[in-house]
Structures are given as C-alpha cells and as structure tokens.
Amino acid sequence: GAGVSQSPSNKVTEKGKDVELRCDPISGHTALYWYRQSLGQGLEFLIYFQGNSAPDKSGLPSDRFSAERTGGSVSTLTIQRTQQEDSAVYLCASSWRAGGSYNEQFFGPGTRLTVL
Amino acid sequence: TQLLEQSPQFLSIQEGENLTVYCNSSSVFSSLQWYRQEPGEGPVLLVTVVTGGEVKKLKRLTFQFGDARKDSSLHITAAQPGDTGLYLCAGVQAALIFGKGTTLSVSS
C-alpha cells in the first residue's frame, strides 16, 4: 500500500484478555517501530525492529508486552492479560532504516485500545 | 524519564495571531524533528533540524535549533484555522523521543 496500515482501528477488550495489534509497514522499509500514545504520557517508544537484527525492546513497559516481525514486513504487537492502564492509541511507524539524523518515520493511523 | 519538555501544552488563538512553541531538553540530540498530528491520524513530519543555530522555514512556519542542540522552537506567523492540530517535537535517536506535545486551536 501507499502508507503504513494498522488493524484493527479500534479494539475494545475486557481486563485480563490478550490482544494482538497488526502493522503493515511501507514496502521496502527495513525499520519498524511501535509507540503508545496516551493522554497523560504523550507518545512513548515501545520497541523497534531493524532488518534482521534483534529488536530494541527497551521501551516495553512490562513482560506482558511483546512484538514480532515476520519476514521483515508485517509486525504484531501482543499484550497479554490486559489492564485498564493499557488503554491508549498504539501507533506503528516505518522508515528506510533506523538511526541517522534525517530518519523520517511514517506513521500509521493507530489502533485505539480500550480495556474495560 | 521524559527528556523533552514542550510548552505551552495548550494554545488557543485567533486567526492572524502569531505564536511560538518551545521544546527543551536536558540532553543533546544529534537532530530534532517536529511533527504535526491531526485527530485519528498518525504524526506527519514537518522538518528536521540538525545543526546548532539552524533555522528552517516552511511557508509560515519557522523552526530553530538551539546553538547547543538541546532546545528548539516553532514559530507560526499569521496562524490560520488549518494550522489547528497537535505539534510534537522529537529527539532523533534510533527511535524517536517525543515531547508531550502542544495542542493548538486556531479559530476564525
């Protein structure tokens, strides 16, 4: 596609359930990023993938959060045993590669997660 | 730890007014970016500043990077309702470190 796509656009779940959020990056982009945007905390980095290198997981808030990227393209962010504080908009972005002063990241529209 | 502080957090002005948004950091960044985000969409890059003291202009928007590369400002001249949105500064590392943003509302 022309841009980064994410699905679903909205997800409502009950506390304690697991959820999977999907990201399709721009074709050819080797770097993929996940961010979380909430009212109180702004936009926070979660994890990024660069090519076949091990992902940088330094932003993941707990071990309930994990992500994988298959075939260097599509990525899935999984949140296990969801809590109400997980409610936020989850944004995915991609770029030609990670790093570099002019690294432009292209963002998807986000998935709005609501945990009841 | 929040490394980038943006101010003001909210700004509501009339069409035609000028405004400045500030982004301050306790850390030095190799570069800093400004993004604009509209409701229901992801942020979109406006500009990247790299050199200390650098000034970049994008139509009515002027971006400046501090000499020490720890702070930046965004100045909008003669704001228009179409400028309404969330403005985010971001320090560039492998990932981006964002400030909390400035919500701008311009009314006609």
Cβ atoms A76, A18 nearer than 8 A: no
Q: Give A-chain residues touching B94 at CB under 8 angstroms.
A: 48, 50, 56, 98-99
Structural domain range at position B72: 4-107
**Under DSSP, is residue A6 helix (H, G, I), strand (E, B) or coil?**
strand
Q: How far is CA A1 from the centre of its chain?
A: 18
Mean of per-residue pLDDT scores for chain A = 94
For chain B, give the percent of residues with pLDDT over 90: 89
The domain locations on chain A are: 5-97
Indicate the pairing of strand B102-107 with strand B55-58: unpaired
DSSP-derived letter for residue A55 is: P
Binning pLDDT at 50, 70 and 90, where does residue A103 land?
Answer: confident
CATH number for the domain harbouring residue B92: 2.60.40.10
- Tell me which residue of B79, B48, B85, B77 sits closest to B65, measured CA to CA: B48
Q: What's the CATH architecture for A5-97?
A: Sandwich (2.60)
Q: What is the domain count for chain B?
A: 1
B 11-70: CB under 8 A from A = 30-31, 33, 40-45, 48, 50
Residues of chain B with pLDDT under 50: 2
